[in-house]
């Protein structure tokens, strides 16, 4: 289980088009590891890896990924299924020689647990109740002006925040206003954390 998870976690994304119901809208062309967050906190990840060796078998990868997800759900399911393997498929055309694995998580907790990382999405108020440190320097995405702590706390129940160490391009379901200083805000409204060190913070309204 752990070996297959290590294989799937470090993947890089290619050119695909996916728009999940209730999720942030993704562009038609994606060129790096991508994560999409739903308004309800569900997460979809799209992972692609080189798959160009003669001895590689997509059906074997499908079986391995399915077994990994089933084992995780058996350990963590409490009512709703926390993790779904949506698809494992070989890509064609300009992306031939790659394989795509798509996972759907029912919550940020499931994503963090399965990937053994940090992932919180919720209001500032909820982050404080969960004992997250919100002292990170946050810069406005338009003007690069630092956000003061007093402004951060103005509407803690209506301001949303993402705290994660996930690396890739992340699409959020709300308008991003501030990011930590090592996060790249992109023109399509996403954030790129691939060059970030450690945990990053993204503020939304």
Q: How confident is the model at residue 21 (pLDDT cuts 50, 70, 90)?
A: very low
| Torsion angles phi and psi, residue 48, rounded to 5 | -130, 140
Banded model confidence at residue 53, pLDDT cuts 50, 70, 90: confident
| Residue that is written with structure tokens 């940090």 in the block | 118
Mean pLDDT of 43-67: 89
User: Does the structure show a pLDDT above 70 at 24?
Assistant: no
User: How far apart are the C-alpha atoms of 140 and 142, rounded to whole Å?
Assistant: 5
Report how far Cα 53 is from the mean position of its chain's Cα atoms.
28
pLDDT in tens, 163-204: 999 998 999 999 999 999 999 999 999 999 999 999 999 999
Torsion angle (degrees, nearest 10) of CA 105, 51, 96, 67: -30
The count of C-alpha atoms lying within 13 angstroms of the C-alpha of 74, restricted to the half-sphere facing its C-beta, is 7
Rounded to the nearest 10 degrees, how much is the dihedral formed by the CA atoms of 104, 107, 112, 118?
130
User: Alpha-carbon distance 3 to 60, whole Å?
Assistant: 14
* Pairing of the two strands 34-37 and 169-171: parallel
Instruction: Read off the pLDDT band of 52 (50, 70, 90).
Output: confident
- For residue range 118-164, list pLDDT tens digits in order: 999 999 999 999 999 999 999 999 999 999 988 999 999 999 999 99
DSSP-assigned letters across all residues of the chain = -HHHHHHHHT----S-----TTBPPPPS---S-EEEEBTTS-EEEEEEEE---TT--HHHHHHHHHHHHHHHHHHH-BSB-SEEEEEEEE--GGGTTEEEEEEEESSHHHHHHHTTS-EEEEEHHHHHHTT----S-EEETTT-PBPPHHHHTSSTTT-EEEEE---SEEE-SS-EEEEETT-EE-TTS-EE-TT--S-EEEEE-
């Amino acid at each position: 289980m752990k070996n297959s998870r290590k294989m799937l976690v470090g993947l890089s994304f290619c050119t695909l088009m996916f728009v999940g119901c209730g999720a942030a809208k993704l562009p038609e062309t994606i060129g790096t590891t991508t994560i999409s967050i739903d308004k309800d906190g569900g997460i979809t990840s799209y992972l692609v890896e080189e798959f160009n060796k003669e001895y590689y078998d997509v059906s074997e990868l499908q079986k391995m990924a399915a077994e990994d997800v089933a084992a995780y759900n058996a350990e963590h399911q409490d009512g709703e299924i926390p993790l779904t393997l949506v698809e494992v498929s070989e890509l064609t055309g300009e992306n031939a020689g790659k394989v795509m694995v798509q996972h759907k998580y029912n919550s940020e907790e499931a994503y963090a647990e399965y990937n053994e990382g940090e992932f919180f999405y919720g209001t500032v108020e909820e982050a404080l109740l969960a004992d997250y440190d919100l002292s990170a320097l946050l810069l406005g995405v338009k003007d690069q002006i630092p956000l003061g702590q007093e402004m951060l706390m103005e509407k803690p129940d209506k301001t949303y925040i993402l705290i994660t160490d996930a690396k890739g391009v992340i699409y959020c379901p709300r308008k991003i206003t501030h990011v930590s200083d090592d996060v790249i805000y992109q023109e399509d409204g996403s954030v790129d954390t691939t060059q970030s060190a450690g945990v990053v913070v993204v503020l939304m309204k």
